[in-house]
Amino acid sequence: MKRLTLSLLYCVLMRTFLKVIVGVVYRNREAMKKVPQFVVVANHNSHLDTMALMSACSPGLIANTHPIAAGDYFGQSPMRAFFTRFFVNAILIPRSRPKPGETGPDPIDLMSAQLAKGHSLILFPEGSRGEPEKFQKFKRGIGILLERHSDVHYIPVFMKGLGKSLPKGETLLVPFNSLVLMGDPRKCEAKDVDGIVHEVEAAIRALAAETQ
């Protein structure tokens, strides 16, 4: 039931809406079909980012592909948490890891558990949404996760225009020609956490340079 719902919602309705109404163009969308499991890493400027990346999935992949969402925001109420988990297929995580002596779920462990099951993830290494096409500092979580799962491919993605269609803090959607540019799946060449973070950021920035 959930697989069918997600397939209709994203692969048909949302994909059509984004292409026809918003003006989203996908390039190299087939990148997601080249490997059985992946971690999508992308820049983040709008709530539309998640919708665009989920809409890029094929029906066979979408049920096992999970965006990562901040639990303090998308889990503010039971209804919002249910909507986010069911209709977005997201994994709700805390924004930071527990400090020594603190209890609570570790976001890296929550994401790692999904990869261990063979599922795929959609991550925004910058964390929160920033200004359109302006990069923020990448957080170390992506490096820790990919170091732990060095056998999993990552797919770099640069999105342009969505932050202008629906900027942070705005509720009114404005159609604007937008691009979702995907790189080919790759495994990390760097072996340490900071090196992986730098590698992932460099891959996304290289895609951004292609759009200039």
Positive or negative: CA dihedral 144, 94, 132, 59? positive
- Assess contact for 118 and 177: CB atoms under 8 A: no
d(CA 133, CA 196) in angstroms, rounded, equals 22
Give the ranges where 56-192 is alpha helix by DSSP (H).
59-62, 71-74, 78-87, 107-116, 141-148, 162-165
- Which of 65, 64, 92 has its CA nearest to residue 78? 92
138 pLDDT band, cuts 50/70/90, is very high
- Which of 82, 85, 155, 158 has its CA nearest to residue 120? 155
CATH number, domain containing residue 200: 3.40.1130.10
Q: Give me the number of domains the chain comprises.
A: 1
pTM of this prediction? 0.90
163 pLDDT band, cuts 50/70/90, is confident
Tens of pLDDT, residue by residue over 183-197, are 999 999 999 999 999
The confidence score (pLDDT) of residue 132 equals 65
Burial class (CB in 10 A: 0-12, 13-18, 19+), 77: exposed
d(CA 176, CA 166) in angstroms, rounded, equals 9
- Domain range for 95: 2-210
d(CA 7, CA 91) in angstroms, rounded, equals 18
Max CA distance (Å), the chain = 51
